[in-house]
Structure 1
Amino acid sequence: MADQVAGHSTTDYLQDLLLDTDGVEEFLTEFARFSAFRLFPQSGETLCGITLLRSRRAGTVASSNEAAKKLDELQYLFTEGPCLTACEEQRTVHVADTTTDERWSGYVANAAEHGVRSILAVPFTLEAGARAALNVYSTQPGAFGAEDIATAETFVAQTSRALMLAVRLAQHSESIGNLKTAMQSRTAIDIAIGIIMAQNRCSQTEAFTILKSVSSSRNQKVREIAASIVTSIGQAEPETHFDL
């Protein structure tokens, strides 16, 4: 990573990263790795993760490696900790030493057992409805001094717009995926209703009533029953004709 960022400003690197990566997930992952390298090139291991809080649900959208992801997820298990507090209260949270800090005792103690001695969480400034924080973990106690914290806050402020764009793209992709799934389900249901109408010589309303009845008796979703009906006559699962 060092050869990729040497001689580049943060803005230049992020612009290059947006252009060079193939998707939101890859961009965010490289962003987390860049954060771990760029912010704290110090002794001891530094890990970075990005927590996104939407609709009261927290999730790690990127991490510098698997260990960083596990540390984030451990916090969600305890439903409290420095990163969640940074997201919810929109303020920087610093744990100088996990072996002596008395806040969020359960999580901090477990983080210490995983070899983490210092934690820094800095919130991003995003649009309403979404909150996020950069989570930095170090194996060294007292790893983040006042200058390090100020650097992290400046970095996060500079990169909030890039993360906001990534979140927008992820939400758009998620919406498109949900829409495609819904249309495919609708297509399967329509075809299944047609099959039932032909087999039972009934109306569309009656066919849909039969479909719902089978769904209820088998405790399966209507779209699942519809798909099984379509495949039972030797047809592949239908695809929507709408292109998005």
Structure 2
Amino acid sequence: MSQATDAGDLLASLASGGDLGSFPGDLVHLTARQVPHAEACGLTLTRATSGVTVASTGPLADRADQRQYRLDVGPSLESMRTGTVVRVEDMATEGRWDPYPAQAVELGVRSSLSLPLDVEGRSAGALNLYATEPGVFTAQDESVAAGWAEQATGALTVALRIADSDDRADRLTGGLDTRATIGQAVGLLMAQERCTAAAAFDLLRIASQRRNVELRDIAAGIVGAFEEGLADRPGRW
């Protein structure tokens, strides 16, 4: 399956995920599938001075991430803290972040590639790829992974903006939950306009400001129009 097809799958996930809750899991599996030499993938988000894995493809990535948090050193934390891509050719000969490399080898990790996630000018985490063989990650791997890191950054940006919008709406309406509708509208606009998640959210915000209509109502109109279109198609129940 091509990266373009997988990106389409990701858009479908955003459109149907509501609060984007399924996005991290979809992202790490699609990344591991598309990056040629990746055997496992984990998504680290910043938490205080360390990190937390919000999604992984399985035990290899999860244990490799968790060991770094426990030691407070490692390539994913380095990437997250410095905003740089960090590649490890061979954990068996790696001299940085002692004692993590030796422990990574014990877990079965021999090489890794971590890419930073920067959301609205601040560090948000890292996308981490792992392999059981040394020296496998190439420039092509990094290029493909960078595309998925960009998808993650866009989705996280939207998630933060939705949370902020939802919080304001809660204060104004006494608890009305708008997150699902906004998330669906973002996904639909991404597919329609072929744009990033952040750009799609900005389209909603601009429409809200120009029309002087609440953001949740703009989103509801987009979702409603889409559902009406589906109902009008011939052959549907």
1:100 counterpart (93, 103, 107) = 93
Q: Any stretches of 5+ residues in structure 1 without a counterpart?
A: 181-241
Q: Helix, strand or coil: the match of 1:25? A: coil
State whether residues 28 and 62 of structure 1, in contact with CA within 8 Å, keep that contact through their aligned partners in structure 2.
yes
1:96–1:48 Cα change, 3 Å? same
Find the counterpart in structure 2 of residue 156 from structure 1: 149
Q: Deviations over 1:105-157 (max 9, x none)?
A: 21111111111111100112212454211000111111101222233224323
Find the counterpart in structure 1 of residue 73 from structure 2: 80
Q: Helix, strand or coil: the match of 2:22? A: helix
Amino acid of the residue matched to residue 133 of structure 1? Answer: A
Q: Helix, strand or coil: the match of 1:24? A: coil
Deviates more, 1:72-81 or 1:16-25: 16-25
Find the counterpart in structure 2 of residue 66 from structure 1: 59
1:8 counterpart (2, 5, 9) = 5
Percent of aligned pairs sharing the same letter: 32
Larger radius of gyration between Structure 1 and Structure 2: 1
State whether residues 98 and 117 of structure 1, in contact with CA within 8 Å, keep that contact through their aligned partners in structure 2.
yes
- Tell me how far apart the structure 1 counterparts of residues 139 and 46 of structure 2 sit (CA, whole Å): 27
2:110 counterpart (108, 114, 117) = 117
Q: Deviations over 1:71-111 (max 9, x none)?
A: 11110001011000101100000001110111112111111
**What's the offset of the Cα at 1:60?**
1.0
Amino acid of the residue matched to residue 82 of structure 2? Answer: E
Find the counterpart in structure 2 of residue 186 from structure 1: none
Find the counterpart in structure 1 of residue 132 from structure 2: 139
Q: CA RMSD in A?
A: 2.8
1:168–1:117 Cα change, 3 Å? farther
- Tell me how far apart the structure 2 counterparts of residues 155 and 89 of structure 1 sit (CA, whole Å): 19
Q: Helix, strand or coil: the match of 1:140? A: coil
What TM-score comes out, normalization by structure 1 length?
0.62
Q: Any stretches of 5+ residues in structure 2 without a counterpart?
A: 177-237
Identify which of structures 1 and 2 has the higher relative contact order when contacts are C-alpha pairs closer than 8 Å and 6+ apart: 2
